Amino acid sequence: MFNKSGFLGEKEILCLTGDIIPLTPFAVLTPSLDKEGIIVGKDEFNRKVYLDIDKLPNSHGIITGTTGSGKSTLARSLAFKIYKEKGIKIIFIDPHGEHASFVRDVLKGKIIDLKNIPGIMDNQCYTPIDWSNELSSIFSNVYNLTDFQTYILQQAFLEALDKGSLENVPIYIKKNFYLSPLVKELFFKINPILSIFNTDIEISQILEEDAIDLSLFSLQNRELSRLAMLIVLNQIDMYMKCKGVRNKIDTVVIVDEAHRIFTLGTRNVLVRAYQETRKFGYSFWSINQLPGQIPYELYQLAGFLFFLPGPVEYVKELESIAMLTEEDRDFLLYSIKGSAVFIKQGDPRPLRIILENIKEAFK
């Protein structure tokens, strides 16, 4: 309160810390940035912006952007830099085969067609019960099996693992036809699918390569493509966990169109991996089109986020995920292609950046 002389009286004025921040030097000085890792672009002050996944609390990340916004170009550019500068292995899970030429011609890697999914009889360090539970859960998720059908399938996989042959799965199911018409229905759903598993190739052989494109392009059936994605991601997850706990990242798995493997209310290997942060030496990078297509939990857990420009409704969805300022919103709405809002775990400040994509990433 002011007294008659125009000065503040003796009455105390209470305020929150946030109310006086604009009066401090921190509101004027630009915050410092990390200077280690790979360069992803430059901020509005023309400073280089870095990404160092080894220093993040969680090494998993998300790239979100509408069709044509440059998600794939950004993912390939980051992959090139981390592969060349850090010697980290790169695996693309590629629904449309659009990264194949980049992996083959630029990274000098190998393309593997997942029309024959690597053999699932190798449970590695998992117990047969755990792996049969995982497999039956994946099939149930994709083909909407009943609880009873899922149980029968789990028992069939368990017997197949015990006897070392996938052929025992349909044999076991047929033996139990008498239990319920649901078992016969299960047989006709599952039996044609089992032929796509290639028992001559193991996931460990595939992951010996330094750069791989696992292409799903030849699997035109959406359910089959989703099944292949889920099984291969689980195989990669199992393989990396069996190598033991290690803190340094040696493999990055880029999951294009990650939203394909989620249905309403489902949880799967990606959610588990993001929860386990950086324990097992690998990092999942999920690429998706619209923010709401993958669980909100992934955004909360991810070590880094790239939000690419897009229309109003898209930006509104992003606002429900991150604390974007008015400047951030305008940047996403009106910026040209090749820009992004970049957020790192542990640092609440979104950075508005111009990306430095390499020319090879546009292949």
Note the pLDDT tens digit of each residue in 80-124.
999 999 999 999 999 999 999 999 999 999 999 888 788 888 888
Note the pLDDT tens digit of each residue in 164-211.
899 999 999 999 988 899 999 999 999 988 878 877 788 888 888 999
CA distance 84 to 78: 10
Contact between residue 75 and residue 107 where contact means Cβ atoms under 8 Å apart: no
CA distance 39 to 46: 13
pLDDT score, position 139? 94
CA distance 218 to 220: 6
Note the pLDDT tens digit of each residue in 49-82.
999 998 888 999 999 999 999 999 999 999 999 9
CA distance 140 to 153: 9
pLDDT score, position 7? 47
Looking at residue 223, its amino acid is E
List helix spans (H) across 196-311. Answer: 203-206, 222-242, 269-275, 296-301
* Beta strand spans in the chain (E): 38-43, 48-51, 61-64, 89-94, 110-113, 117-118, 197-198, 211-215, 246-255, 280-288, 304-307, 339-344, 347-355
Binned at pLDDT 50, 70 and 90, residue 306 comes out as: very high
CA distance 14 to 2: 15
Note the pLDDT tens digit of each residue in 322-349.
889 999 999 999 998 899 999 998 887 8
For residue 116, CA distances in Å to 120, 193, 194, 198, 335 come to 11, 11, 10, 5, 42
Binned at pLDDT 50, 70 and 90, residue 1 comes out as: very low
CA atoms within 13 A on the CB side of 271: 12
Q: What does the angle CA 173 – CA 178 – CA 179 come to, to the nearest 5 degrees?
A: 80
Neighbours of 208 (CB within 10 A): 9
> If you write DSSP's letter for every residue of 268-289 in order, what string do you get?
-HHHHHHHTTTTEEEEEEEEES
Sequence-ordered list of residues with C-beta below 8 angstroms from that of 326, at least 6 positions apart, any chain = none
Domain spans, the chain? 38-116+212-241+250-362, 128-196
Burial class (CB in 10 A: 0-12, 13-18, 19+), 105: exposed
Provide the token pair at 245. Answer: 């706990």
CA distance 287 to 64: 6
Does the structure show a pLDDT above 70 at 363? no
Span 38-116+212-241+250-362 CATH architecture: 3-Layer(aba) Sandwich (3.40)
Note the pLDDT tens digit of each residue in 293-302.
888 889 999 9
Whether pTM exceeds 0.85? yes
- Residues facing 49 on adjacent strands: 41
Note the pLDDT tens digit of each residue in 234-270.
999 999 988 888 878 999 999 999 988 876 555 678 8
pLDDT score, position 12? 60
Query: Average pLDDT, stretch 25-42?
Result: 70
CA distance 193 to 101: 29
Query: Average pLDDT, stretch 148-159?
Result: 96
pLDDT score, position 307? 97
Closest alpha carbon to 190 in 163, 218, 159, 167? 167
